[in-house]
C-alpha cells in the first residue's frame, strides 16, 4: 500500500536524522569541558564558547524534534482525552494535527526560510564577530520545521490507516 510505504520512508528519515543529531551532544560536552578548563585552570574564559555551545545544543534539541515525534516522546497531557473512546481520541488527534500542528509548522517553515535567507544574504555575524554562526543557527528552524512536517505527515497518515494499531507497529 502506498500510504504504508510513505510512512516507512518518513519514519526512516526521522530515524536517521535523529540518530545522527544525537551525536551533536559530544561537541557540546567538549566545548563545556574546554570552557571549564580554560576558565578554572588557566584563568582565560572565552566568550565564543558560550555562544557556540548554545547553538550546538539548540541544533541538537531542534533536529531531534521529529525523532521525538516518531517515538511519541513529546509531553502530552491526556487527563481528559484518555477518558474518551478510541474513536473520539482519533478524531481529536486528527483535528489537533489539522488545526494546530500543520498550520504552526508551516508558519515556522515560511518565517524560518525568510529569516535564514536574509541571514545568509548579509553574512550575519555574532555580537563578537564570529562568522557563519547566525546563518547556520537561523537555518535550523526551517530544517526542523521540514523534518517535523515530514514526520507529522507520517503520523497523520498512520491515524488514517485502517486497523487497530494505527501506526503502533514497527
154 within 8 A of 10, measured Cβ to Cβ:
yes
9 inside domain:
yes
Rounded CA Rg of the chain: 20
pLDDT of residue 144: 96
Enter the pTM of the model.
Answer: 0.84
Q: 90: which 3 cell numbers? A: 482519533
165 inside domain:
no
105 inside domain:
yes
Range with the lowest mean pLDDT among 43-47, 116-120, 156-160? 43-47
What are 32-68's pLDDT values in tens digits?
999 999 999 999 988 888 878 888 888 889 999 999 9
pLDDT of residue 170: 44
148 inside domain:
yes
Domain tally, the chain: 1
Give Cα separations from 32 to 19, 37, 126, 128, 131 (angstroms).
22, 9, 19, 19, 21
154 within 8 A of 97, measured Cβ to Cβ:
no
45 inside domain:
yes
CA quadruple 58, 154, 170, 12: dihedral positive or negative? negative
Closest CA to 148 of 24, 65, 76: 65
167 inside domain:
no
148 within 8 A of 69, measured Cβ to Cβ:
yes
**Residue 110, helix vs strand vs coil:** helix
Kindly report the length of the chain: 170
Enclosing domain of residue 136: 2-160
Amino acid at each position: 500500500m502506498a500510504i504504508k510505504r510513505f510512512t516507512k520512508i518518513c519514519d526512516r528519515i526521522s530515524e536517521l536524522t535523529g540518530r545522527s543529531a544525537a551525536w551533536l551532544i559530544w561537541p557540546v560536552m567538549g566545548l563545556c569541558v574546554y570552557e571549564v578548563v580554560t576558565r578554572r585552570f588557566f584563568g582565560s574564559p572565552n566568550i565564543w564558547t558560550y555562544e557556540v555551545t548554545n547553538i550546538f545544543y539548540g541544533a541538537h534539541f531542534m533536529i531531534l524534534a521529529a525523532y521525538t515525534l516518531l517515538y511519541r516522546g513529546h509531553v502530552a497531557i491526556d487527563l481528559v482525552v484518555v477518558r474518551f473512546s478510541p474513536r473520539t481520541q482519533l478524531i481529536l488527534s486528527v483535528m489537533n494535527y489539522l488545526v494546530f500542528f500543520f498550520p504552526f509548522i508551516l508558519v515556522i517553515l515560511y518565517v524560518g526560510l525568510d529569516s535564514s535567507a536574509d541571514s545568509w544574504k548579509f553574512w550575519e555575524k555574532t555580537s563578537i564577530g564570529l562568522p557563519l554562526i547566525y546563518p547556520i543557527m537561523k537555518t535550523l528552524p526551517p530544517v526542523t520545521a521540514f523534518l517535523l512536517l515530514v514526520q507529522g505527515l507520517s503520523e497523520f497518515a498512520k491515524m488514517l490507516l485502517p486497523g487497530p494499531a494505527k501506526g503502533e507497529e514497527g
